[in-house]
């Protein structure tokens, strides 16, 4: 399949130089980007060898901005089933979790599959092309395979992480005892999903990670064994929540005698294969340690705001060289799945002052936020094959219309307008060379019956 995307008002490549091309075009062959340049340049290049370069389809992107696909580095897709539960009452993280654990415990395999399909569809329409999900409870026969099935059907590039909880309330943890798993079973299933699903090859569509949930829900030994298992396989990442709240800080000091990042380091959880969700409360030495160890951080602005967890020092982490990417987080702690909107929120939150920092409108620009959501996400996930529009990279690109009502008058800087104006739906999305959003719709997906089934499952869980 040869696909030509042409006449984009602006093409933002996110290459090392941050190249932006007016009247830009991209030529895609199968799943790879083959040529990038102006529309005139690509027309001449195709004409020079039309027998091998004539496109099978041409998409005219006049009125659009074309960027690399957005990369969502942290999510809990099953939480689409419980949006606004707890957050509408203003609960902070620990109380919010205690409210929701019993409801989530009623999930089954169908609930995981349907909620993943709904969440991934919403993400696709928001510009996401790569999604990392953290599923850490498996009640009633649910498996990681159930959400993988949804991602495969929709054609999303997927990083499912086999999460886990093993320390319940009776042992000093936060989750109810009936929702934790024996650690031997966790490790056995972790190995199974790696062997069954993980693909370390360049351009792979599925890469599995191991993700013990948090310091307050798993043991030190499970953290160590998970790290060692992951590192016995190529490109299996390690993921967990860390330094999300001051309550977690206090828990780690009281329970382990260490702050969260020091605790993670003691368990072999630093390095280029690790990315932490949130990192709202790192100290200056923590930031230096993250940068020195090449560990990644996924910032989740909306979730941190809605649960009042705090404002993460993203500017300081980026400036220190930490691999920072962007995440929507759980659909029940956001309560949406809009990656472009999340990039906007991350930009705005960094401009707001907090103790010790004055409010500054220049603390983060729209371009910096978009880079975190694309190139930053690729680095966070330790991938060099996605995140930019360059020859040899996987063909993950997304186009947003900027000629509609939301962008009326935003002609001086059309790329920045993606974030300074109200976020809109993706008009075109290409993942691995395949069109997954066309004219603002997902080809072949009938949303109405999917949403009816999703809401029925949600109602059943809530009413129980």
What's the CATH code of the domain at 31? Answer: 2.30.40.10
pLDDT recorded at residue 87? 84
- Establish if 449 belongs to a structural domain: no
Domain co-membership, 340 together with 428: no
Q: Residues 60, 100: one domain?
A: no
Query: 89 and 8 in one domain?
Result: no
Is 399 inside any structural domain? yes
Q: Is residue 101 domain-shared with residue 24, that is, in the same domain?
A: no
Q: What is the pLDDT of residue 370?
A: 98
pLDDT of amino acid 88: 82
| Domain, as residue range, for 186 | 70-380
**Per-run averaged pLDDT (10 residues), the chain, 464 residues:** 98 98 98 98 98 98 98 98 89 93 97 98 98 98 98 98 98 96 98 98 98 97 98 98 96 96 98 98 98 98 94 96 97 92 97 83 96 98 98 98 97 97 98 98 98 98 91
Q: Looking at the domain assignment, is residue 138 inside a domain?
A: yes
Q: Which of 231, 230, 218, 234 is nearest to 179 (CA)?
A: 218
The reply to whether 248 and 198 lie within a common domain is yes
Q: Is residue 453 part of a domain?
A: no
Q: Look up tokens 């702690």; give the residue.
A: 333
CB atoms inside a 10 Å sphere around CB 37: 20
Q: Do 60 and 77 fall within a single domain?
A: no
Confirm whether 457 is domain-assigned. no
List CB contacts of 107: < 8 A, sequence separation 6 or more: 78, 81, 115, 137, 139, 140, 142, 461
Tell me, what's the pLDDT at 89?
A: 84
Residues 216 and 267 reside in one and the same domain:
yes
3-class SS of residue 112: helix
Number of domains in the chain: 2
In degrees to the nearest 10, what's the CA dihedral of 147, 150, 156, 158? 20
């Amino acid at each position: 399949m040869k696909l030509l995307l042409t006449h984009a008002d602006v093409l933002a490549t996110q290459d090392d130089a941050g190249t932006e091309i007016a009247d830009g075009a991209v030529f895609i062959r199968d799943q790879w980007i083959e040529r990038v340049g102006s529309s005139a340049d690509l027309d001449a290049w195709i004409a020079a060898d039309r027998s091998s370069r004539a496109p099978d389809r041409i998409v005219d992107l006049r009125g659009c901005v074309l960027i690399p696909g957005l990369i969502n580095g942290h999510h809990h897709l099953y939480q689409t089933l419980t949006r606004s539960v707890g957050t509408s009452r203003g609960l902070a993280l620990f109380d919010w979790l205690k409210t929701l654990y019993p409801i989530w415990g009623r999930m089954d395999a169908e609930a995981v599959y349907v909620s993943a399909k709904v969440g991934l569809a919403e993400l696709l329409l928001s510009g996401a092309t790569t999604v990392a999900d953290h599923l850490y409870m498996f009640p009633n026969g649910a498996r990681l395979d159930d959400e993988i099935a949804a991602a495969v059907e929709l054609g999303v590039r997927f990083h499912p992480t086999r999460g886990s909880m093993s320390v319940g309330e009776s042992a000093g943890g936060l989750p109810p005892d009936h929702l934790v798993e024996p650690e031997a079973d966790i490790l056995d299933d972790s190995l199974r999903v790696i062997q069954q699903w993980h693909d370390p090859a360049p351009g792979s569509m599925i890469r599995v990670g191991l993700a013990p949930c948090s310091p307050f829900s798993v043991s030190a030994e499970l953290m160590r064994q998970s790290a060692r298992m992951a590192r016995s396989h190529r490109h299996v990442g390690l993921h967990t929540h860390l330094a999300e709240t001051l309550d977690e800080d206090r828990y780690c000091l009281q329970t382990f005698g260490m702050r969260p990042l020091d605790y993670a380091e003691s368990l072999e959880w630093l390095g280029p294969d690790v990315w932490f969700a949130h990192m709202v409360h790192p100290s200056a030495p923590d930031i230096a340690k993250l940068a020195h160890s090449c560990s990644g951080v996924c910032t989740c602005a909306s979730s941190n705001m809605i649960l009042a967890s705090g404002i993460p020092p993203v500017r300081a982490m980026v400036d220190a060289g930490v691999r920072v990417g962007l995440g929507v987080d759980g659909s029940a702690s956001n309560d949406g799945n809009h990656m472009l909107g999340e990039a906007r929120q991350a930009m705005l939150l960094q401009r707001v002052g907090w103790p010790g920092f004055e409010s500054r409108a220049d603390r983060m620009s729209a371009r910096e936020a978009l880079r975190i959501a694309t190139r930053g996400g690729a680095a966070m996930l330790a991938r060099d094959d996605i995140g930019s529009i360059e020859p040899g990279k996987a063909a993950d690109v997304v186009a947003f219309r900027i000629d509609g009502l939301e962008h009326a008058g935003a002609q001086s800087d059309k790329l920045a307008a993606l974030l300074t104006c109200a976020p809109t739906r993706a008009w075109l999305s290409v993942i691995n060379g395949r069109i997954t959003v066309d004219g603002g719709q997902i080809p072949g997906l009938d949303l109405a019956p999917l949403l009816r089934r999703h809401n029925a499952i949600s109602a059943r869980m809530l009413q129980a």
